[in-house]
């Protein structure tokens, strides 16, 4: 019973990641893409965590922690890049 619900949540989360990718492609600006990527990373973190439950392998949770760290660094560096790039008002 538990396993089927978890599989269903995985399917739903994959659907969500498709929505995030659509926003990533549509844009229309760079900050939009950065936030879409943020959401995509959050979805991947949840997917990994749920997969850790299904497979029973607890090592995957470490991967989720690492990924959340890296996404933070990624969005920070994108923000820094935006600050540096020219103002196009």
Partner 1 sequence: MEFIQELLSTIFIIIGTVFIIIASVGILKLPDFYIRMSAITKAGTVGVGFIALGIAIYFNDLSISIKSFVIISFMMVTAPVAAHIIARAAYRQGIPFWGKNLVDELNELEARKDLLEEQVASNPNSIEIKVQLINCYITLPTVQGGSLKKAILIASDIKEIDAPQGHASLAMIYERDNDFILAEEEYKQAIETSKGNLIYKYKLANFYGEIGRVTQAIDMLEKILAENSDETDAMLELGKAIAVHGKNLQKGISALNSYIEQANNDNEKLSEAYCSLGKIYLKQNDKQKAKSYFAKAIDINPNSLDIPIKCQ
The contact set with partner 1 (CB under 8 A) reads 1-2, 5-6, 9, 12-13, 15-17, 19-20, 22-23, 29-32, 34-36, 38-39, 42-43, 45-46, 49-50, 52-53, 58, 61-62, 64-65, 68-69, 72, 75-76, 78-80, 82-83, 85, 87-89
What is the Cβ-side half-sphere exposure of residue 25, based on CA atoms within 13 angstroms? 5
Q: How far is the CB of 41 from partner 1 (least distance, A)?
A: 9
Contact, 33 vs 24, CB < 8 A? yes
Reference 33, options 21, 51, 47; nearest CA is 21
């Amino acid at each position: 019973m538990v396993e089927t619900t978890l599989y269903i949540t995985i399917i739903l989360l994959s659907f969500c990641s498709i929505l995030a990718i659509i926003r990533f492609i549509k844009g229309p600006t760079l900050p939009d893409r950065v936030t879409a990527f943020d959401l995509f990373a959050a979805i991947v973190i949840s997917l990994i965590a749920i997969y850790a439950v299904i497979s029973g392998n607890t090592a995957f949770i470490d991967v989720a922690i690492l990924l959340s760290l890296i996404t933070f660094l990624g969005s920070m560096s994108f923000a820094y890049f935006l600050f540096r790039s020219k103002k196009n008002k």
